[in-house]
Amino acid sequence: MTQFPKGFLWGGATAANQYEGAWQADGKGESTADHLLGGTFETPRRFVEDATQPGYFPSHDASDGYHHTEEDIKLMAGMGFKLYRLSIAWTRIFPNGDEKEPNRAGLDYYRHVFELCHQYGIEPLVTISHYEMPYHLTKAYGGWGNRKVIDFYVNYATTLFKEFSGLVKYWLTFNEINIGFMLGGYMSLGLPTPDGSSPLLGEQNDAAIQAALQGLHHQFVASAKAVQIGHAIDPNNLIGCMIAGQVTYPLTASPEDVLLAQQTNELNNFYCGDVQVRGAYPDFAKRYWTKHHVVLDIDETDAETLAAGKVDFYTFSYYSSSAETADQSKRESTGNMSFGVKNPYLKYSEWGWSTDPSGLRWYLNEVNSRYQIPMMVVENGLGAVDEKTADGKIYDDYRIDYLKQHLAAMSDALADGVNLIGYTTWGWIDIVSAGTGQMAKRYGFVYVDRNDDQQGDYARTPKKSYYWYKDVIANNGSDLDPDVRY
């Protein structure tokens, strides 16, 4: 097994709308996430206009991280974290998104978080926008479909770079920027959504594709501008992109299946990656635009902006893989927020996600060959139902096994020559699922006493995996089978 490099950045991740709660505390405004009801694997989440009506809105309370800051950072430190990936809630800083001056209480909250992290030797990795743009920007401007939103985002990002210079050096401009295109535009792009529709089931007609790609173009320009501003404010800033890593295999050796899988991988992974890493749209984008009658409104200065705003490193999420086939009779859904068709060689979770550590190695090698810049895996984990034993413990060996397989795949990728510098699990503590809005779909090393029926006091309990990951970090990944005492 290849040794992980010295100084490797071990850690875990959360997102503000899935973790913090306190949705109206200290001047925070309403985000798009605050208007999403909870769902299940069988029942998709729904958007509602009135976020104060009765019902379960997962982001409103989430894991109550806002009120457990000191305790939670101490728990991270107890595992030996080197890196904590978190997002800033845009509406804590600019409640409506279009204000000129920020909300000081929001800035003070995150300053406290970052200072605590540094006390424990933990570097923050901050996502500027993670599925929760100000709802006002959707309502009043049409979300990222409106070019004016670029300026609002740039003002927001500039405020963060100035305020937290010296406290944060690792930044990500957008979370899983390709998701808005793949799954529909509300959650990622803030595009207006009809009342009662699912934010994850976007229509794949030409009009919807046009709207999503136009909004995505505006995000690309905003990201590129933020990269340039971040570098100018503090030359020590390192600013990355974040892609939802999608590995798609051909279902058979049929040439049609092989070609379809290649095109799917290109579109899902490299349409966005090329723009943010290489600074220009890939050649195959034009083929796709022509096929779907897409005509983007691109400003004459946009090409120059994209070329000047290339990111410093590449990050991505990886959970599972899928397959593709041109044979429509073999197509079936693989589950919530997953893509393609089922692969008969893989096992699937109750949420329809496959376990495929080899896919992670494949993806790392593909990205390394294409871009040749430092990489981090910033989301990877297993969502499962965890149950406490009579003595109050959680023996999540299934989670340990999943993570161990993926760490071994990362070690193999390092031997392949991949420039991998960090890894943050998703999520390091139980948080609500973005896909279903459930607490029951748990990912964390730490159990949070809160359920989908909104019962529980938010008490934190380390699981067996907490102590396993602590040992792995301590030995820098050289032993993935430590003798865990729990």
Catalytically active residues are: 176, 379
* C-alpha of 399 from chain center: 19
First to last CA, the chain: 26
State which amino acid sits at residue 336: N
User: Residue 106 in contact with residue 27, Cβ under 8 Å?
Assistant: yes
Name the one residue in this structure whose structure tokens are 């193999």.
Answer: 412
Handedness of CA 95, 98, 99, 103 (dihedral sign): positive
Angle between helices 104-119 and 148-163 (to 10 degrees): 50
d(CA 400, CA 22): 31
